[in-house]
Amino acid sequence: MIGAEDSPGTGTDDSQPADGGEPPSERFEDVDWASIDADGGGRSPLRLAALVAAGSYGLAVASDRLVAGGDPTIDVAFGGVAFVWDATAVDWLFVATLSVLVFALVPLARNRRLVAYYWRRFRRHRPAVLSLAYLLVIFLLGTVGTLFLDPPALDVAAAYQPPVFLSVDASIPTECVGPVVEGRCQGTWRYPLGTTADGKGLLALAIFGMRVSMQVGLIATLISITIATAVGATAAYAGGWIDEALMRYVDIQQTFPTFFLFLFLAYLYGGSLFVLIVIFGVTGWGGIARIVRSEALQRSEETYVAAARSAGASGPFVVWRHVVPNVSNSIVTAATLNIPVLILSEAALSFIGLGNVTLPSWGQTIAAGRGDLATAWWVSTVPGLFLFATILAFNFLGDALRDALDPRQEVGR
């Protein structure tokens, strides 16, 4: 035997402070596994938090549906400012979606250095950074802003007001809110983006439209990627007939015309946003499931999966801890590119009058302004620009994420 004792730092190194109170000198020989086996193991704080969140969410939904009934869910007044929110089914789904997103941030917070590394790679794409900022604004306005803003109200007297800094022939608005200069009605700050034929402010409409778009895009995509990840990862990891059955089902589902299903359900139950979101969510995951499966197939062959298995990990543990995190880059990219498709589909359905007509969605507003393009061009144009910018931003974001998270570019780092 040569060079027996040459490795540096052998023996226990007690100088390192531990984050617990006890010294770090506990050695693996000292672990009493019999007591750990008997103990059965507790729950990690994160899992506990998730359980508590899921439980209180269930309770809140139940109380809203069963106890509150038709009354507002939240009706509080502090110092003259009343906060009234009657949560709809879609709102509850949205709350659930946002809670899941919050929990998805936990691994990001735990691996701050890895996140910083990906952020540096992402930052190189200027348009994507701008897109991210824009989307954050849209998201915050749509979710938080709409809670505190009044929904756009009917005011026939204020119809067809032009946007601020612009003017229109004074004969077009019913009554000009701003000054009339040389026979032209000037836009005012009261309606910065003008108004519709109903006199609804387009800024408020656009902001409430953000909420609809975010709800459609985020909820349906979350439903989709959840199912897609579960199906894709299960198919890849289990293999055999399970794989075969799941993927053939995906084939069939992909040929199914979702549009006609929506028509059918809209005919039966009315074209509510809830139905639209659920249909998009539960039928739109096929493509993502294929992506997840093909990625997961490769990841399942990695040695670290074999290492976890040989240490005694169960199949679900391996899928959850190793396979899913390592295909998350594909999932995130696919999700980011799925959202604009859904937003656009919702706008299209609303535009042709198949959505909920009382909902201030962008598509609805564009459709409403369709007849006035010659006189009040801004009615269709303002929500159209928001729609355009949002779709573009998501696409930029998706492309940049694909580049930043692509593991093939990590070689040699």
Partner 1 sequence: MTDASPLFEVRDLTKHYPVRTGLLNRETGQVRAVDGIDLTVERGEAVGLVGESGCGKSTAARTMLRVEEPTGGTIRLDGDPVTSDDRSRLKRFRRRAQLLFQDPTGSFDPRRSIGDSVAEPLAIHGMTDRARRRRLVTSTLSRVGLDPSDADRYPHELSGGEKQRAALARALILDPDLLVADEPVSALDASVTADVLALLNRLRRELDLGIVLVSHDLAVVREVCDRVAVMYLGEIVESGPVESVFESPGHPYTEALLASIPVPDPTVERRDVDLVGEVPSAADPPSGCRFHTRCPAVIPPETYDLDGVAWRRVHRFHSRLERGPSVDLDAIRAYAASDSAPETAPADVPTHAVQTALRREFDLPSELGDDGAEAVLDRALARLAAGEREAAARLLADEFGTVCASEAPATHPVGGDDRQQHTAVCHLLDEE
Residues of the shown chain interacting with partner 1 in the complex, contacts defined by CB under 8 A:
1-13, 16, 18-20, 22, 24-29, 31, 33, 36-37, 39-44, 111, 113-114, 302-304, 306-313, 317, 321-322, 325-326, 407, 410, 413
Rounded-to-integer distance, Cα 162 and Cα 172, Å: 10
Residue 82's beta-bridge partner residues? 77
Is there a contact between 211 and 218 (Cβ–Cβ < 8 Å)?
A: no
Closer Cβ to partner 1, 81 or 109, answer by number: 109
Q: What are phi and psi of 327, to 5 degrees?
A: -105, 5
**Least distance from C-beta 39 to partner 1, angstroms?**
7
Q: What are phi and psi of 374, to 5 degrees?
A: -70, -35
CA distances from 42 to 38, 48, 144 (A): 11, 10, 37
**Least distance from C-beta 14 to partner 1, angstroms?**
9
Closer Cβ to partner 1, 8 or 79, answer by number: 8
Closer Cβ to partner 1, 45 or 79, answer by number: 45
Closer Cβ to partner 1, 324 or 335, answer by number: 324
**Least distance from C-beta 38 to partner 1, angstroms?**
10
**Least distance from C-beta 121 to partner 1, angstroms?**
14
**Least distance from C-beta 227 to partner 1, angstroms?**
23
Tokens of 35: 């007591």
CA 377 to chain centre: 32
Question: What does 288-351 look like in DSSP terms, one character per residue?
Answer: HHHHHHHHHHHHHTSHHHHHHHHTT--HHHHIIIIIHHHHHHHHHHHHHHHHHHHHHHHHHHHH
Closer Cβ to partner 1, 36 or 51, answer by number: 36
**Least distance from C-beta 318 to partner 1, angstroms?**
10
Closer Cβ to partner 1, 29 or 182, answer by number: 29
Rounded-to-integer distance, Cα 356 and Cα 41, Å: 50
